[in-house]
Amino acid sequence: MTENTDKSQVMLIVLVVLAVVASIVMLFSSSAAAMKIAVLAALWAAFIGLFLVAKYRRLATEERERSEEKMKSLESQLRAEQAELASEKAIEASAQDTEMLREIRQQLSELRQHLEELSGRDFSYVPTTLTAEASRIRELETATEKAANEQKAEQEVEHPFAEAEIVPESGAKRFDTGSFAAVKLDAPTVEPEEVKEEEPVVTPAAEEPQEDGSHGRRRRDEKQDSISVAELLAQLKKKS
C-alpha cells in the first residue's frame, strides 16, 4: 500500500514537471515541433492526473469504509466488554446475595432451634402454597356461610309466621280397669259410707227482687224432699 502510494506520488510529480516545461516551451519557443511536444505532454499530464484523482478517490473511499468498519468493530468490542463487565458484576452481586441469603437462613434456623427449645413446640416450615390454599378454603367457607345466612334471613322475611309443627303424643291414653276392684256377689252387703257432697262455691250474685212467699216455700220443700244418690243405692241394697 505504501509502495503504490509512493509510485503514484512520483508519477504525479513527473507529470507536473512536464506540464511546467511544456508551458515554458510554448511561451518562449517559436518552433512548431517543440509546441506539439509541449501540448502532448500537457494532455498526458492531464489524463494521468485524472487517473490518479480517481485512484486516490477510490483509495479514500476504501479507507473511510475500513475506518468505519474498524470503528464498528471497536464499538462492538466495547459493548461486549461492557456486557461482560456487567455480567461479572451481576454474578458477583448474585454471589453476594446468595451468601447473604445463606447466612440469613442459617441465622433463622438457629433462631428457630432456640425458640423450639424454649417453647417446646415444632416450628416446621410450612410451604406458601399450603398456606394460600388454607386461606382460600377459609374464604370459601366464610362466603358459603354468609350466603346461607342471607338466604335464611330472606326466607324469614318472606314467611314471618311459620306454622307450628304438630307433634304427636308419645302414647295414646288407655283406659285402665285395674283401678276397679272385683265385686263378689256372695259377699255380704256393706252399706256404703255416705258420700259427703262438696259444697259448691257460691259466688255472690246480684240481688234479685224478692218473689212471692209461695214460690220460696216450694223451692225449700223440693230441697228437703231431694235424696242423694248414695242414699238411693243404700235403699236398693236393703230391699234386695
pLDDT tens string, the chain, 240 residues long: the values are 566 667 777 777 877 787 787 778 777 877 788 778 777 877 877 787 788 888 888 989 999 999 999 999 999 999 999 999 988 888 888 888 888 888 898 888 888 888 888 887 776 655 555 566 667 788 888 888 888 888 777 777 665 554 444 444 444 445 455 544 444 444 444 444 444 444 444 454 444 444 444 455 555 555 555 667 777 788 887 776
User: Positive or negative CA dihedral for 116, 121, 122, 127?
Assistant: negative
Q: 52, 12 in Cβ contact below 8 A? A: yes
pLDDT of residue 209: 45
pLDDT of residue 190: 46
| Spatial separation of the C-alpha atoms in residues 42 and 19, rounded to whole Å | 5
Burial class (CB in 10 A: 0-12, 13-18, 19+), 223: exposed
Q: What is the pTM of this model?
A: 0.32
157 C-beta neighbours (distance < 10 Å), count: 8
Q: What is the structure's pLDDT at 198?
A: 46
What is the DSSP secondary structure assignment for residue 161, as one 8-state letter? S
Distance in angstroms (rounded) separating the CA atoms of residues 30 and 116: 124
| Long-range contacts of residues 161-169, Cβ cutoff 8 Å, at least 24 apart | none
Cβ atoms of 41 and 18 within 8 Å: the answer is yes
pLDDT, position 133: 67
- Phi-psi region for residue 183, left (φ > 0), alpha (ψ -120 to 50) or beta? beta
Cα–Cα dist 84/78, whole Å: 10
- CA-to-CA distance for 39 and 33, rounded, in angstroms? 10
